[in-house]
Amino acid sequence: MGIKTENIIVNKTTQFSLDMIGYCDLLYSEKKFILANQLLKSSTSIGANVVEAQQAESPMDFLHKIKIAAKEANESLYWLNLCEKSIGYKFESRFLNSIEEIIAILSKIIITTKKRKLQ
């Protein structure tokens, strides 16, 4: 077995997925089904695509999967913004902080990967 190094984006997206599963459970218990469904799908898809990218067949495949993760992250940001602004929704600002950090990391990965591809 090789030495596993820590992968920050995998760790952050996994923790974010776990946080969103818990938050969506709360939304479901409060009968906020539509937003809970949308948020659960987009937020857990971020990490799934990041993990898939780790086993990419090529740099282009890696970039494609990371771009999908970034799109899902932006969709999750949208749903979280709606939850934050909607009346009667419990919300924690740490969720926005987490997703904004993930979006920034994914953006940096995309930029770096594109630069390497062009060299």
Q: What is the mean pLDDT of each run of 10 residues along the chain (119 residues)?
A: 74 98 97 97 98 95 97 98 95 97 98 82
Three-class secondary structure of residue 12 per DSSP: helix
Angle at 45 between CA 13 and CA 32, to 5 degrees: 100
Contact yes or no for 19/92 (Cβ under 8 A): no
Return the CATH superfamily for domain 8-118: 23S rRNA-intervening sequence (1.20.1440.60)
* Residue among 48, 61, 64 nearest 13 (CA): 48
In this structure, is the dihedral angle defined by the CA atoms of residues 85, 89, 95 and 99, taken in order, positive or negative? negative
Q: Please report, for the chain, the start and end positions of each structural domain, with discontinuous segments joined by +.
A: 8-118
What is residue 119's predicted lDDT score, i.e. its pLDDT? 59
The answer for residues whose C-beta is within 8 angstroms of residue 1's C-beta and 6 or more apart is none
Quote the pLDDT of residue 68.
98
Q: Among 72, 79, 71, which residue's Cα sits nearest to residue 95?
A: 79
Q: How far apart are CA 67 and CA 111, in angstroms?
A: 11
At 118 the pLDDT is 63
Does the predicted TM-score (pTM) go above 0.85? yes
